[in-house]
Structure 1
Amino acid sequence: MVHAVRRLQAIQNALTDNPVSADKKVDEFILPDGAVMTVRSALVDSTPQTTLVYIDGLVVCEYRILDRTAQLVISAVGTEFEHTASHVPTFPVIEIFLSSSGLPQTPRHDISVKDMWATVYALFTLYHVQETIPVVLSQQISNCEELCSYLLRSGLGRTAHAPTASKEEMYLHRATFWQGAGTQGYHPRGWLPPSSISPLSVAPFPYIQSFTRTPTVIAVHPLRPQKPEPGEIILRRFCPSIGETLEFKYFDLRSGSETSEHLDVFHRWHNSERVNRGWGERGSLEKHRTYITNVMNDPAVLPVMMSWNGEHMGYAEITYLKENHVAAYIPGGLGDWDRGLHVLVGEDKFRGTERTNLWHRALIHYCFLADPRTEHVMGEPKADNASILKVDFDSAMHIATIFDFPYKRSALTCVTRERFFRLDLL
């Protein structure tokens, strides 16, 4: 008991002693898993000065303050104030790296995910008055790519919304860190002990405000998670009623050749008369490459290729509605995490009520599984498209309203999380 009290006192002292610079030493900072972390200036001459992060007496990484600053500009992007946002705080950029200078141990070449989280913990203890901490990870860290992906996918870090002196900074955000970003589901070092949660559970992507400004949308909304890797499977499900496996993959444009398999199929589909009647995107391969590139660059849209037993069947776009142009037409507003669907079946042989109900319900299922905060999934097909409206109705959707886009009259279809799972349509 006495030992536990001392550990709690050490944490309290570290958090309340009001450290304002990295020169201040953190003594016996106890991490949630009981490991002891200290942060000390290196005992070697270096310019700029480096700081060592120790965990249980071993150096896990170093960092130094670079001779440049950066600021995270959000709502000013696309306006005359984008490059003159003096009201947005500017902070020194910190480089995280590994070296053999002054190390009392065999030099390391990588940083584990749990040690990366501990390093972020140290930085937000030392620089706790900063809302953001701009950082760069040295390319000399052997798992630099893995760590960058971890920071972005977990929500611990985000990229800039406006050009800076260097485009390599990531911004650690204090608010997402204290929401548990990068802990549950990533490593056992978080504040919730593994015994108190499901070993397979993952914390929801943390909430932090973001902003979208386009010719058709001006919206404040949550920052969205990083996209999957090209070609990454996001859902796979065996459907016993037809004895085949349904698979959703994030669209893949990666290819050393002129085109990718996904792009070739997408191009062929959109030049068929049936698909063109619904989507109106007939055109050249380059037109379709540009279309998909723009969609993949949009953080609010997930382009998905659908297949049966590995054979391409159709295409879907899963959107976040808050930053979609349909948001202005939704009566009563919508939730921060509500999703929208745009769909097409490209191969005629995969049409038909049974298959269509399976993949359409699976898309809705994915939306609700991807984030527990998603309460509604919506569509906006043409109001006179009886076939797709029947598909929506068969998936427990209802018509919330009829409205007019500049280019079509649409029916706003909607299903709630509670209704979808209550009816057990899977």
Structure 2
Amino acid sequence: MPAADIRAATPAASETTHATHAADVEETLELRLPFEYLDALADERPATGGEDLLDHVGEWGPVVTPAGVFQLAPVSVERDLTLVTRWMNDPAVEAFWELAGPEAVVEEHLRHQLHGDGRSVPCLGLMEGTPMSYWEIYRADLDELARHAPARPHDTGLHLLVGDASDRGRGLGSVLLRAVADLVLDHRPACARVLAEPDLRNTSSIAAFLNAGFVFCAEVDLPTKRAALMVRDRTLRHLL
């Protein structure tokens, strides 16, 4: 993980930083939300019927990255279905997303989020105005993940698909993950941690999260996969 501030520290300062980091991770792993809390929060509703559970993702605005100006735009099924379906049918993507097939398969997946309880928002990632990635920004504390791994109130999760093969394998994923994690922390003041749970087999994805300042915390058995629990903690944001 690139961390210029840590590498530049004196040995004593470095040891202190790593000790503090280890303590933070240990504390993180010990905290688990009770199922009663999860069930109660699941009754909350999105902006169309009550509170917005993700603080208006569509209004977060653009951010400047080393690759260009990037912005999240909530998915429109009518506008974006064909594009997202094409990305999901890429063999390298299908192995982990399992949404290959006709447009109806992806449409059902998108509409489940768009017309659900608001705990997940599907988005396109626009680089200089051009769609180039698919995202799901979700409330990790209200997700199935929270039943299998420690979670804190307002933990926010990320799923990422880089659309075109030409954009993969050159460090762009790490740039995007860092940018979106920063957007979450900037616009969700109640959120102390950004989480992700890539498949353990997806080593390139795990490497991208590490290079984006996330920390590997544990292996987690989820209903559909064995995952790497990746965490970017607000308190370590400017160190990693």
TM-score by length of 2: 0.74
Cα distance change on mapping 1:296 and 1:323 into 2, 3 Å: same
Partner of residue 344, structure 1 = 161
Contact 2:174 2:211 in 1 (8 A): yes
For residues 20-419 of structure 1, the aligned pairs below 5 Å read 219-221=39-41, 223=44, 226=47, 232=58, 234-239=60-65, 241-242=66-67, 244-253=68-77, 259-260=78-79, 262-298=80-116, 299-331=118-150, 334-419=151-236
Q: Which has the higher helix share?
A: 2
Contact 1:270 1:282 in 2 (8 A): yes
After TM superposition, give the deviation of residue 220 of structure 1 in Å: 2.2
- The whole-number CA distance in structure 1 between the counterparts of 2:179 and 2:45 is 21
After TM superposition, give the deviation of residue 373 of structure 1 in Å: 1.2
After TM superposition, give the deviation of residue 225 of structure 1 in Å: 5.2
The one-letter code of the counterpart of 1:301 is S
Contact 1:301 1:318 in 2 (8 A): yes
Contact 1:250 1:303 in 2 (8 A): yes
After TM superposition, give the deviation of residue 353 of structure 1 in Å: 3.5
After TM superposition, give the deviation of residue 369 of structure 1 in Å: 1.6
After TM superposition, give the deviation of residue 249 of structure 1 in Å: 0.5
Cα distance change on mapping 1:328 and 1:293 into 2, 3 Å: same
Task: Among all aligned residue pairs of Structure 1 and Structure 2, give the percentage whose two residues are the same amino acid.
Answer: 22
Cα distance change on mapping 1:395 and 1:231 into 2, 3 Å: closer
- The whole-number CA distance in structure 1 between the counterparts of 2:161 and 2:168 is 10
Q: Unaligned stretches of 5+ in structure 1?
A: 1-211, 254-258
After TM superposition, give the deviation of residue 218 of structure 1 in Å: 5.7
What is the root-mean-square deviation of aligned Cα atoms in Å?
Answer: 2.6
Structure with the greater relative contact order (CA < 8 A, sep ≥ 6): 1 or 2? 2
Contact 2:219 2:227 in 1 (8 A): yes
- The whole-number CA distance in structure 2 between the counterparts of 1:275 and 1:233 is 28
Contact 1:219 1:322 in 2 (8 A): no
The total of aligned residue pairs comes to 198
Q: Which has the higher strand share?
A: 1
Q: Unaligned stretches of 5+ in structure 2?
A: 1-34
Contact 1:403 1:411 in 2 (8 A): yes
After TM superposition, give the deviation of residue 374 of structure 1 in Å: 0.4
- The whole-number CA distance in structure 1 between the counterparts of 2:188 and 2:81 is 28
Describe the superposition over 1:8-45 as per-residue Cα deviations: whole angstroms up to 9, x where unpaired: xxxxxxxxxxxxxxxxxxxxxxxxxxxxxxxxxxxxxx
Cα distance change on mapping 1:358 and 1:224 into 2, 3 Å: farther
After TM superposition, give the deviation of residue 231 of structure 1 in Å: 10
Secondary structure of 1:219's match?
A: helix
The one-letter code of the counterpart of 2:64 is F
Describe the superposition over 1:299-319 as per-residue Cα deviations: whole angstroms up to 9, x where unpaired: 100111002112111111111
- The whole-number CA distance in structure 1 between the counterparts of 2:159 and 2:119 is 13
- The whole-number CA distance in structure 2 between the counterparts of 1:315 and 1:293 is 15
After TM superposition, give the deviation of residue 233 of structure 1 in Å: 5.3
- The whole-number CA distance in structure 1 between the counterparts of 2:59 and 2:92 is 27
Secondary structure of 1:281's match?
A: coil
After TM superposition, give the deviation of residue 384 of structure 1 in Å: 2.6
The one-letter code of the counterpart of 2:141 is K
TM-score by length of 1: 0.43
Secondary structure of 1:238's match?
A: strand
- The whole-number CA distance in structure 2 between the counterparts of 1:375 and 1:321 is 12
Contact 1:339 1:377 in 2 (8 A): yes
